[in-house]
Structure 1
């Protein structure tokens, strides 16, 4: 009987040990077990660069396999929301700053990032968009300038200087039009949310004007916002955008710019690499429309820290996910990604090789404001601002478009 009890005790220990191994078979904290983590983002154009980086990561971490999922940017939030809430399918993911970041944070979608070794790899001033209540939830990876890209060759050919005020911006646009160029190539799916930012920056030169709209301290029917919409409408009415601007997609506008059909592209620095791939001979720069007299201009341009990288709070493999995040933040890996994709980054000690990146990097020394639209924390308010631009391009008066947008803001405030 005693031998039987001893045997049973031994079996219990063995079974318990097996149970323990089974429960940790997918746990990244056990370095001997292979786990699979998912990396989800919206930048399909970066997939080739990420494939190379993932291959290097897996070679260095043979027990971690990384699967990559890419969704379109315009449906990204709705696509990832279910996975983040369920804890299935996403471990590392990207988000936009502003309302999308805030929505995910409020839903407890982000795990806290408190590893000082990881945080120290980033420029502290450039990662504030991923922070809330002094806690870092996500790390903005890209530094973008949300101002038009311009064709230096066309400007030089026509002896045009960079406009320093609104009057000279209109004169420059008129000269371009008379010489057969579309002054500003506008894309209906992207430009309304991009072009409005430099148009606002000096009309109401604060860093939180649109955020104060959603808190009720300001209104979209105030003079500064109506003026902004009026100036956008003026550009359209004078034929400085191409025909059917709202019906033009981001890729089509970029292709027209690469073909040198237009002199300015109303998107941002993130498009320079794409344009260069289509036309290796094109010489590009960045400029911002100055909507006031030169002596009244406070800002030279607009910047955004975006592509916020985070770890899903409900990830079953947080340690493996954080390892991958740390790998992406390595200066050597970051430099590879930056030069392969044409993106400026927030990581310290990145080395930029391409002329486009060196051109964009010059803007780090200029006085820029964080993108006004991304200070809005409510998605419906952000959409109302964007829609007001579409409305004036569709023929609505600036005043009526502003009143319509403000009405939506007030409806949001009541809910």
Structure 2
């Protein structure tokens, strides 16, 4: 029997998430009155949930660098992906900026807006094995700051109480989900309204298509979404919906509502990633959390156990007139003590060397860095934004009731129309 839990009203949880989230553009200028003669640099990104700790770090930076002040502007992530390149073009905004890997990185690189950071001393502050995603044509254009695991967060304490083990196959996954349903628990909270399948698709297809070049081949015409690897992925999503393994009206469920389901222990898993673990614990400190990717094949066929992404890629705007000051700020962010402060306050693993993880959730999940077989997030290997949209829409169409092969055929037609 499950123990009795103390549940918070969904409205209270949702309000807390809304207040702490990135609901709209936000600007911070921590410079003081004594800094009139300082050079002000612009720092833009999308991590609204990091505002408080970054305000603190900026204050520390300005104390040590009184000739430089930092204005931080935070945009909602979808807006940032859509408009980030335009913001950078005249050099007046984003002296220091962040980039997503994948389509946004490729677009900004093609526009020539990244300053090459090769030869800068601060590059050695980062783990060289984790920064290759920021390289192009032998140039180090960006430095990923965060190491994220883009796979479901699960309630380990709930699993332990029900005697459930992490499933190692698709058959075992379904058995675990059935047990959760029998106990009145939704297996997976899926935030389809705002995050959609952007994160969950990665672990759902990682073993259906273990070839890490599969999306490159899709873009050059060697692969098709109508082939077995993608049709099976869509069929697996269809199974989740038809069996009730994800909540009703999943496409209409916001991130805040999905997180509230997990915080209230109404759902066992959140189909996002490690970046939400700290926020979940803020909502319910009694949760015991870990990470778990669904294995959609039989155990003997599984190649990967999870997904990793080096993201929140720090960069200097090539159009900036304040490049040296921008580089000083990145140097400061990559100091181990500053990076450790950021990591522990935000619940993020980082790519910076010698970071000390003090928070329990980071210590308990650090084994995913070295001990588990993970692959880089497949979605970020789709470098054409239109093709990425076609892939994601095929999942949404299936969750909305479409036949998997029909959805695959419609998406492949869009791929063919947008292939370069």
Are 1:232 and 2:244 an aligned pair? no
Q: Give the match's secondary structure for 1:236.
A: helix
Greater fraction helix: 1
In the alignment, is the contact (CA less than 8 A) between 2:85 and 2:107 conserved in 1? no
Q: Give the match's secondary structure for 2:352.
A: coil
Are 1:386 and 2:399 an aligned pair? no
Q: Return 92-101 or 71-80, whichever deviates more.
A: 71-80
Aligned match of 1:333: 338
Aligned match of 2:3: none
Structure 1 residue ranges, 4+ long, deviating more than 4 angstroms after superposition:
none
Aligned match of 1:81: 85
Q: Give the match's secondary structure for 1:125.
A: coil
Out of 254, 267, 276, the position equivalent to 1:271 is: 276
Are 1:253 and 2:258 an aligned pair? yes
Aligned match of 2:31: none
Q: Work out the CA distance in 1 between the residues paired with 2:178 and 2:87.
A: 50
* Alpha-carbon distance, 1:217 to partner: 1.2
Which residues of structure 1 form unaligned runs of 5+? 1-31
Out of 154, 170, 178, the position equivalent to 1:166 is: 170
* Alpha-carbon distance, 1:33 to partner: 5.5
In the alignment, is the contact (CA less than 8 A) between 1:71 and 1:79 conserved in 2? no
TM-score calculated relative to the size of structure 1 = 0.91
* Alpha-carbon distance, 1:218 to partner: 0.6
Deviations 1:318-345 (A, max 9, x none): 0000000110000000000000000000
Larger Rg: 1
TM-score calculated relative to the size of structure 2 = 0.90
Out of 106, 109, 114, the position equivalent to 1:110 is: 114
Q: Work out the CA distance in 1 between the residues paired with 2:231 and 2:217.
A: 16
In the alignment, is the contact (CA less than 8 A) between 1:126 and 1:346 conserved in 2? yes
The count of corresponding residues between Structure 1 and Structure 2 is 384
Deviations 1:226-253 (A, max 9, x none): 0011011101100111111011111221
Which residues of structure 2 form unaligned runs of 5+? 1-35
Q: Work out the CA distance in 1 between the residues paired with 2:356 and 2:129.
A: 19
Aligned match of 1:27: none
Deviations 1:70-92 (A, max 9, x none): 00001103333332111112210
Q: Give the match's secondary structure for 1:57.
A: helix
* Alpha-carbon distance, 1:145 to partner: 0.6
Q: Work out the CA distance in 2 between the residues paired with 1:252 and 1:304.
A: 25
Aligned match of 1:134: 138
Deviations 1:271-293 (A, max 9, x none): 00010100011000111100111
* Alpha-carbon distance, 1:146 to partner: 0.9
Deviations 1:304-360 (A, max 9, x none): 111011011111100000000110000000000000000000001000011211122
RMSD: 1.3
Q: Give the match's secondary structure for 1:79.
A: helix
Q: Give the match's secondary structure for 1:86.
A: coil
Out of 193, 202, 211, the position equivalent to 2:207 is: 202
Q: Give the match's secondary structure for 1:40.
A: strand
Q: Give the match's secondary structure for 2:40.
A: strand
